[in-house]
Structure 1
Amino acid sequence: MDDKKNIILAVLLTAAILFGWPYLSNYFFPTANPPATKIEGGKQVPVARPDADPAADSPAAIRDRALVLRESPRIPIRTPKLTGSINLKGARIDDIVLPTYKETIAKDSPDVRLYSPSGTQDAYFAGFGWQGEGLRAPDRNTLWTAQGSVLTPTSPVTLSWNNGAGQLFEIRLSVDDNYMITAAQKVSNTGAGTVGVKPYAYISRTGIPKDPDTWTIHVGPMGVFNGAANYDVNYKDLDKGPSVQSFQSKGGWIGFTDKYWLSALVPAADADFAGQFRKGAGTQYQADVALGSTMVAPGKAVTQTQRLFVGAKEVKTLEAYQDAGVPLFDRAIDWGWFYWFEKPIFGLLHWLFEHIGNFGVAIICLTFVVRAIMFPIAQRQFSSMAAMRALQPKMKALQEKHKDDKQQLQLKMMELYKQEKVNPLAGCLPVFIQIPIFFALYKVLMLTIEMRHQPFVLWIKDLSAPDPLHILNLFGLLDFTPPAFLGIGVLALLLGISMYFQFKLNPTQMDPMQQQIMGIMPWMMMFIMAPFAAGLLVYWITNNCLSMAQQWWLYRKHPVPAAAVPAK
């Protein structure tokens, strides 16, 4: 009767995990990026993702982007990592493309577009301006004059506008080799009276990013205020109200973070500023910075500098800006609680990649390094497990002798463990140590753009996406895509098999229920891990194989004695 109950409980537990896990994991542990490839007719082809372009020229666009770009005079932007243009109407930076990143892994894939002008699908742009006291300030309809024909790292551009009342406004734009644009805002007063000027900058975007905002990955409004990173504001918060959330800070930055991209305003390190997140009409959101007001006497001029970061969240690039004075800029990547541990894991993995040239092989080498560091602890674990295996005959004898008295059986088992100096819980420590390592690698695969679209071997074209080969549709020969929790790929199957053989090496559990759970655990994990990034499965499979090799080697030193034949 107890065995039947155990079987029923095991079946119910398995069903709850298989069907309930997808709902929990979507929020707490979002799975991998959308698949980079799919199998059609037995052939692997890139996945077309036109929705990945936030301003695609499609029928869904409000207006054709190419037409909008031609409607106003523009100054081109040309750097190694940025291309696009500056709109002279309103002095807006509203056309930014990242030529070093593609939307998909297809050879003809378009470059990633980050900014797009107002009037197009999911408009996204930034600008600089002034509020004034006793003067006529430029606005979004102001047509600026440009000094300079193209903005490059070696050729800045100055935008100027005279209000006709004695004030000349200038924005000198310069850009570095990466993603930082510097704007020096100057006001010259040639009028008869003193005027007050208050510089500001803003980032405006329409639409919510395709990447979800989850418990482990923040996507949305973000900033660093008074030396602390703030991930507390979400698009939903602004939708529900209040529609304006304000922050006062000395130094820091404010903007919008996506999974891989960042747009942020960076005032001077010693500047006191007011930062705000605002909700506009529909799905329009804005982040802005307002500096303090300055009085400009006749014949005087004042210049205040702000910066705009618009680009990819490359770890080393963010760290370089942070070293140059942008506070906590590497926190634009939501490393989370294990920041202190995830950064070294990423650093080691990226160093291995730079020397090997393949991130999949680098993950395998990282697994070897982790196992080597943990070798002494694993030795104690496996020694304890080997001792437990050696005690199997005595444990079975006790189980047979006290099968009708579970309390007495537990007491005798404890006495046996004490007598033989065996700790049945000694094998748990390496498992707990592996948890932060596994989670750190999960975050690295999910968050860092360095892992995006990185191939391994054969059909694995993107280690940050799930395995595209699904067994249930015969590896693409059948024209249907299994649901996520049934999308068992080759790597997930290898994971289940490796876990099965690893558990077979473990000592037999005395409790039948525990033994049944251990028997189905590999196949449950196969379903649970199938939607996760392929790189994570590569790490786990490699770790299982190394564990089995270490167990096998140690068990040869501690063979299980043959059980005594009971007397009739």
Structure 2
Amino acid sequence: MNDNRNMLLAIVLSAIVLLGWGLLSEKFLPTPAPQAQQVDDGKMKPVPQPSATPAAPAVQTPQAIRERAIVLTETPRVRIETPSLQGSINLKGARFDDLDLVAQRETIAKDSPPVRLLSPAGAKDSYFTQFGWTGEGVAAPDANSLWTASAMTLSPGKPVTLSWTNPTGQRFEQTISVDDGYLFTVKQRVVNGGSAPVAVRIYGLASRAEKSKDPSTWTNHVGPISYLGDKAEYDVKWETLDEDKSGVTLDSRGGWLGFTDKYWLTALAPANGAPIEASFKRTPSGAYQADYAGAPFVVAPGQAVSSETRLFAGAKEYTYLQRYEAAGIPSLNRAIDWGWFRFFMIPIFKLLLWLFHTIGNFGFAIIALTFIVRGLMFPIADKQFRSMAGMRKIQPKMKALQERYKDDKPRLQQEMLKLYQEEKINPAAGCLPILLQIPVFYALYKVLMVSVEMRHQPFTLWIKDLSSPDPAHILNLFGLLNFTPPSFLAIGPLAVLLGITMWLQFKLNPQQMDPTQQQIFSIMPWVLMFVMAPFAAGLLVYWVTSNILTIAQQAWLYKRYDMHLSDTHPVKT
């Protein structure tokens, strides 16, 4: 038994814990069923038979796919112009079906177009949201209704009201406002100008014709997502809706639901506290739909009733998610799949973000974070290297014991434990820093994988995107040869630095007595060099910096404790 065997055991056990916890999923708690409502003297009161009106309709997607630019010219539109968004609202059906993210680009190229989030029905990759009403015995607006707009441009501080009136005198209104980020607020209002009461029910839906191009993994959920009943739901996947034609239905009072990509989110957030019936389904046309329907209510002649809902459509930037949580959308930051360790990852993410805003470069922010982590763990490392220096000091005695008891393994173990006690050395002392570094490393991995703030962030020299693998490949002579190596052979300078620094680190460790362990530790740096090469460059920057600091610590602490140990624990002969 020695410190390296304990280190291997710690790594294996920690990996099991991380993987096991990450694969567990949260379940919903039951919530009360929706209660129907009516308007009586301007007040909402319960009425019987809450299922009297239908829920949100299933959207039918056009079969013929046309050029997006052509589709956008086929109907009148209200322009959307904000510092973060640009696009338009379709007045046919009152759909949010044209939206680009101004500050986010498809690639790191200078002429790259902005990220396109929403596209109209009939175009490729159709993706849109819609708010409306269903009713029984009343003509409610549908996907073919043509709305009238109070203005032709929607911008922060300049809301637009859409209105539509049916033949019996009921007027339906949507007053839409937008902030400087990614949040739309939609105030839905029904005015009954007819001679009889009407029963209606509000709804909201998000429909996308195709699955996300981003893969969904156990570390990062992509697809249908919701926070209803005080629980985040990551279990509903594209495959769930493909297999279950009836869809998934959830009852709640407030919350939000929609679709998430790796970095982008479209979420419907009805008024908090109001009972809703929410669902995910795959429609007969093959589109994926997230929708909710409020409780039915009755509007008497001459009365009006309004409700408010919000739409988040944009990048999952933590600052905006926090802002909208403070504005009343519960736990919107859960749209970022932090996993079970979010209590640990969010502080690391916030520290990294603060370092970035202070320094101005994410690569140097990662290096600064590495210094901070190593500094906080220095007292533990101090104890670790004292133990390791002691192990190095007693190597001759351990070799002598191995020779003396090479045919008696139990006796060898007893004598080695006795030697540890005499020299006051704890071979397991080297495990704790490893155990502490694994969560930090995993947290940084998650931050690099799920946070849009890291996307397309440059470092220096050839590293233009820290969230992507090192683009320089040694096997094609850094691009001079006209071929791209397969991912498992795409070894870049950062991966080579990782292998070299890890090899140097292991060289400074006490030599393993077991020949098998010696072989494992001699090849491990080069195996990890290949394993880590396809990972995000930012992760390799962290690991290489950590290795360099560890080598410097080892050199200094060995020198210090070799002198200290020789004074207090002289070698016995």
- Give the TM-score normalised by the residue count of structure 2: 0.87
Does residue 1:349 correspond to 2:355, yes or no? no
Aligned twin of 2:401: 398
Does residue 1:186 correspond to 2:170, yes or no? no
Does residue 1:205 correspond to 2:208, yes or no? yes
Does residue 1:369 correspond to 2:401, yes or no? no
Aligned twin of 1:312: 315
CA deviations over 1:529-568 (Å, ceiling 9, x no partner): 000000000000110111111110011123498xxxxx9x
Q: 1:289 aligns with which of 285, 288, 292?
A: 292
Q: Secondary structure at the match of 2:555?
A: helix
Aligned twin of 2:420: 417
Q: 1:237 aligns with which of 240, 255, 258?
A: 240
Aligned twin of 1:246: 249
Unaligned runs of 5+ in 1: 1-23, 29-60, 562-566
CA deviations over 1:151-191 (Å, ceiling 9, x no partner): 01121111111111121111111111111111111111111
Please, which moves more after superposition, 284-293 or 400-409?
Answer: 400-409
Does residue 1:488 correspond to 2:511, yes or no? no
Q: 2:265 aligns with which of 262, 267, 278?
A: 262
- Matching of residues 149-164 of structure 1 within 5 Å: 149-164=152-167
Contact 1:62 1:121 in 2 (8 A): yes
Distance of 1:207 and 1:149 partners within structure 2 = 30
CA deviations over 1:451-504 (Å, ceiling 9, x no partner): 000000100000000001111112112222222121111000000000000000
2:423 maps to amino acid: E
Does residue 1:90 correspond to 2:93, yes or no? yes
Does residue 1:140 correspond to 2:143, yes or no? yes
Q: 1:407: how far off?
A: 2.4
Q: 2:363 aligns with which of 346, 357, 360?
A: 360
Distance of 1:64 and 1:558 partners within structure 2 = 72
Aligned twin of 1:386: 389
1:306 maps to amino acid: T
Distance of 1:473 and 1:424 partners within structure 2 = 44
Distance of 2:561 and 2:130 partners within structure 1 = 71
Aligned twin of 2:43: none
Does residue 1:545 correspond to 2:556, yes or no? no
Aligned twin of 1:63: 66
Distance of 2:356 and 2:539 partners within structure 1 = 16
Contact 1:492 1:529 in 2 (8 A): yes
Distance of 2:327 and 2:146 partners within structure 1 = 34
Q: 2:230 aligns with which of 206, 227, 232?
A: 227
Distance of 1:260 and 1:92 partners within structure 2 = 23
Contact 1:390 1:558 in 2 (8 A): no
Contact 1:498 1:541 in 2 (8 A): yes
Please, which moves more after superposition, 109-118 or 550-559?
Answer: 550-559
Name the CA shift for 1:305/1:438 in 2 (closer, same or farther; >3 Å).
same
Aligned twin of 1:429: 432
Q: Secondary structure at the match of 2:312?
A: strand
Name the CA shift for 1:551/1:330 in 2 (closer, same or farther; >3 Å).
same
2:444 maps to amino acid: L
2:307 maps to amino acid: Q
Does residue 1:529 correspond to 2:525, yes or no? no
Q: 1:174 aligns with which of 157, 173, 177?
A: 177
Q: Secondary structure at the match of 1:558?
A: helix
Q: Secondary structure at the match of 2:427?
A: coil
Distance of 2:560 and 2:104 partners within structure 1 = 53
CA RMSD of aligned residues (A): 1.7
Does residue 1:501 correspond to 2:542, yes or no? no
Does residue 1:338 correspond to 2:341, yes or no? yes
Contact 2:132 2:203 in 1 (8 A): yes
Q: 1:404: how far off?
A: 2.6
Aligned twin of 2:80: 77
CA deviations over 1:111-144 (Å, ceiling 9, x no partner): 1110000011110001111111221111111111
Contact 2:92 2:143 in 1 (8 A): yes
Contact 2:160 2:177 in 1 (8 A): yes
Distance of 2:253 and 2:170 partners within structure 1 = 29
Unaligned runs of 5+ in 2: 1-18, 24-63, 567-572
Q: 1:344: how far off?
A: 0.4
Contact 1:208 1:283 in 2 (8 A): no
Aligned twin of 1:35: none
Q: 1:403: how far off?
A: 2.2
Aligned twin of 1:474: 477
Q: 1:148: how far off?
A: 1.1
Q: Secondary structure at the match of 1:168?
A: strand
| 4+ aligned runs moved over 4 Å, structure 1 | none
Distance of 2:561 and 2:257 partners within structure 1 = 60
2:256 maps to amino acid: W
Aligned twin of 1:15: none
- Give the TM-score normalised by the residue count of structure 1: 0.87
- Matching of residues 510-529 of structure 1 within 5 Å: 510-529=513-532
Q: Secondary structure at the match of 1:137?
A: coil
Q: 1:282: how far off?
A: 5.6
2:405 maps to amino acid: H
Distance of 2:391 and 2:65 partners within structure 1 = 69
CA deviations over 1:26-53 (Å, ceiling 9, x no partner): x99xxxxxxxxxxxxxxxxxxxxxxxxx
Distance of 1:154 and 1:559 partners within structure 2 = 69
Q: Give the number of aligned pairs.
A: 507
CA deviations over 1:372-403 (Å, ceiling 9, x no partner): 10010010001000000011111111112222
Distance of 1:243 and 1:419 partners within structure 2 = 70
Q: Secondary structure at the match of 2:164?
A: strand
Q: 2:199 aligns with which of 189, 196, 199?
A: 196
Contact 2:77 2:152 in 1 (8 A): no
1:507 maps to amino acid: P
Please, which moves more after superposition, 66-75 or 413-422?
Answer: 413-422
Distance of 1:302 and 1:106 partners within structure 2 = 50
Distance of 1:307 and 1:372 partners within structure 2 = 44
Q: Secondary structure at the match of 2:313?
A: strand
Distance of 1:327 and 1:352 partners within structure 2 = 28
Distance of 1:282 and 1:421 partners within structure 2 = 73
Q: 2:282 aligns with which of 257, 279, 282?
A: 279
1:230 maps to amino acid: E
Distance of 1:486 and 1:282 partners within structure 2 = 43
Contact 1:183 1:305 in 2 (8 A): yes
Distance of 1:490 and 1:244 partners within structure 2 = 48
Q: 1:283: how far off?
A: 4.2
Name the CA shift for 1:283/1:424 in 2 (closer, same or farther; >3 Å).
farther
Name the CA shift for 1:282/1:427 in 2 (closer, same or farther; >3 Å).
farther
Distance of 1:517 and 1:221 partners within structure 2 = 43
Distance of 2:390 and 2:65 partners within structure 1 = 71
Q: Secondary structure at the match of 2:558?
A: helix
Contact 2:196 2:300 in 1 (8 A): yes
Q: 1:82: how far off?
A: 0.8
Contact 1:363 1:539 in 2 (8 A): yes
